[in-house]
Amino acid sequence: MSESSTRVVADEVERALAGLDFDEVKKTYWNQNEFICLERWLPAAIVGRMVAEVERVRPAVHRNYIPRHKKGGSVSFYTLVEQAPTILALYRAPAFIRFLANVTGQPLQPCPESDPHSCALYFYTEPGDHIGFHFDTSYYKGSRYTVLVGLIERSSSRLVCQLFKDDPGGRPLVELQLATHPGTLVAFKGDKLWERNLGPFISQHGPGASPILYKNLLIFSMDKDAHYDTVKKGKLVPDPATLYAFDKKTGKSVWEKPREALRACYSVPFVLERAGSQPELIVTSTTAITTTVLVVDSTTPRRLLSPSIRDRRDDRSPSPWSPSPWSGKR
């Protein structure tokens, strides 16, 4: 990282922090259930340098689309390390980390550098770009805190935040709609409401599937390799593939269904709703496409397409298409 960038950011952050009423910031953070928004807090000198870095890395934007969840682009931590010294300097600034630690009352540290989203840029620049309601959870021990910094704001869309959602103390939900103007800082505890340990993920690569929310359910498809050694076969992996449904508020199991396994899969389940029909949960895997008549408190999956799709890891997710609702080859 550039020493000049580190020094400039450190000096500007110190000055910006000195202008805050720390006691009032901390009081607001806790009164809002561990959430704070500081409008246009970051000095223009730093914002200008960061915006220049945004334009520098724009060719590296990776776009993705997950139906009913998000559509947009991102630039990972690895690219920022190479091309965005000011952004990295803010993320690592000791005074900034101390400030956040004092506000939250927790000893904070940066995420592991092996995490591509530990510090990243997110681009919502095309029509229809969005991200749905979600909690910023992690797979690390301890709590997770998220800091968002606005850099370019040319949209009528807003950052919508729901405070006190499912609050155990019964406080009413408060919804904020915020414009992330350049230099605006939003910090909050994005930690989980609950966690479930589903055991080790057996595959050549790590886990990559995503859950979906449907009414009161969190639905997740866990498809591992069927064998510890996918070449020699041999020893089987216990419980290699299961479709889970958890209560989204408590994490308690509502139902689970074992599935046939072959190779690890990363597809996202899809709920198909049609007028006059019960909702169907559609899941793809290496071995089959299955459809499930979905009931909130129970389900009885049935196989729809039995021939093997292919013998490699499946990362395709179903999406609606007329006249048939599944993706890939029929």
pLDDT for the residue numbered 319: 59
**What's the rounded Cα separation, in Å, for the pair 122 and 63?**
10
**What's the rounded Cα separation, in Å, for the pair 295 and 279?**
8
Bridge partners (DSSP) of residue 73 are 63, 123
Check whether 304 has a pLDDT greater than 50: no
- How does pLDDT run across 34-81, given as a tens digit for each residue? 999 999 999 999 999 999 999 999 999 999 988 878 899 999 999 999
What the block records as the tokens of 144 is 């997770």
Contact 267, 282 (CB under 8 A): no
**What's the rounded Cα separation, in Å, for the pair 206 and 196?**
17
Radius of gyration for the chain, computed over Cα atoms and rounded to the nearest angstrom: 22
In the chain, what are the domain boundaries?
A: 3-189
pLDDT for the residue numbered 317: 61
Bridge partners (DSSP) of residue 276 are none
pLDDT for the residue numbered 13: 93
Sequence-ordered strand ranges (E) for the chain:
35-38, 62-66, 70-75, 121-123, 130-131, 145-149, 159-163, 174-178, 185-189, 212-214, 217-223, 227-229, 233-236, 241-247, 253-258, 270-272, 280-284, 289-294, 299-305
- Backbone dihedral angles phi then psi of residue 91, each to the nearest 5 degrees: -60, -35
DSSP per-residue codes, 269-294 = PEEE--TTS--EEEEE-SS-EEEEEE
Which CATH number is associated with domain 3-189? 2.60.120.620
pLDDT band for 262, please (50, 70, 90 cuts).
confident
Closest C-alpha among 64, 46, 60 to residue 5: 46
- How does pLDDT run across 10-34, given as a tens digit for each residue? 999 999 999 999 999 999 999 998 9
What the block records as the tokens of 36 is 């704070």
